[in-house]
Structure 1
């Protein structure tokens, strides 16, 4: 979907194995697909490895710690914006102190970026067919 280099893919694989504490804690929640959104961890896009990404809503989630403070954040965010991604930056300490609040913020961002039209559940009924809806889930 998005072009990237072998070097970035290898970096993402290494970072998935190592993972710092805030990322591991958040991944335990995001891997359960909260709100029905699928998240990827250390996803390679362009020249970057995103901490987390929700591809269906084009949301990049970055856990900001020491390494992000001295990086190329404006350039990185600009390139991701050009690819249609919004970057949500979350301080690492917030993940450790208010995990529920962080997950709520992520889900709000995902919901706000959802496409207006969801994919159909299949073709429409044929002539003469009646669509039945189960009212007792």
Structure 2
């Protein structure tokens, strides 16, 4: 559901990749131009060992210069509009901001 919504959003210069490899990890959605990662979590991500792995993973990604935002699967199904607004703010700074073309950074 989120993938379809991201592909349909008219966000200039903010192409997303799905299931993108970054270092030793594969992230759910990735916008290379903004180094923005979106992770979707089910209920099991709130439990002991899985939560600890997620924390370590997110720390590694953030130390590498990526911005990671997380959403629960239930947020996608119950309030997709709010999720998309949060993503837009992460990309552009505010809902009222003009879209700008980002240059892709390659390592």
**TM-score, normalized by the shorter chain, greater than 0.5:** yes
Q: Which is richer in strand?
A: 2
* Deviation of the 1:73 alpha carbon: 1.5
Q: Higher RCO, 1 or 2 (CA under 8 Å, sep at least 6)?
A: 2
Distance across 1 between alignment mates of 2:40 and 2:102: 29
Verify the 8 A CA contact 1:33 1:39 in the aligned structure 2.
no
Query: 2:8 is paired with a residue of what secondary structure?
Result: coil
- Point out where structure 2 has 5 or more consecutive residues left out of the alignment: 94-100
- Tell me the CA shift for residue 77 of structure 1: 0.9
CA distances 1:92-134 after superposition (whole Å, capped 9, x unpaired): 101001111111101111113xxxx966xxxxxxxxxxxxxxx
Q: TM-score, normalised by structure 2?
A: 0.76
Tell me, in whole angstroms, the C-alpha distance in 2 between the residues paired with 1:44 and 1:52: 10
| 1:32 matches 2:32 | no
* Aligned positions, number: 91
- In structure 2, the residue matched to 1:97 is 78
Change over 3 Å in CA distance of 1:76–1:118 after alignment to 2 = closer
Q: Which residue of 2 aligns with 1:88?
A: 69
| Cα RMSD for the two superposed structures | 1.8
Larger Rg: 1
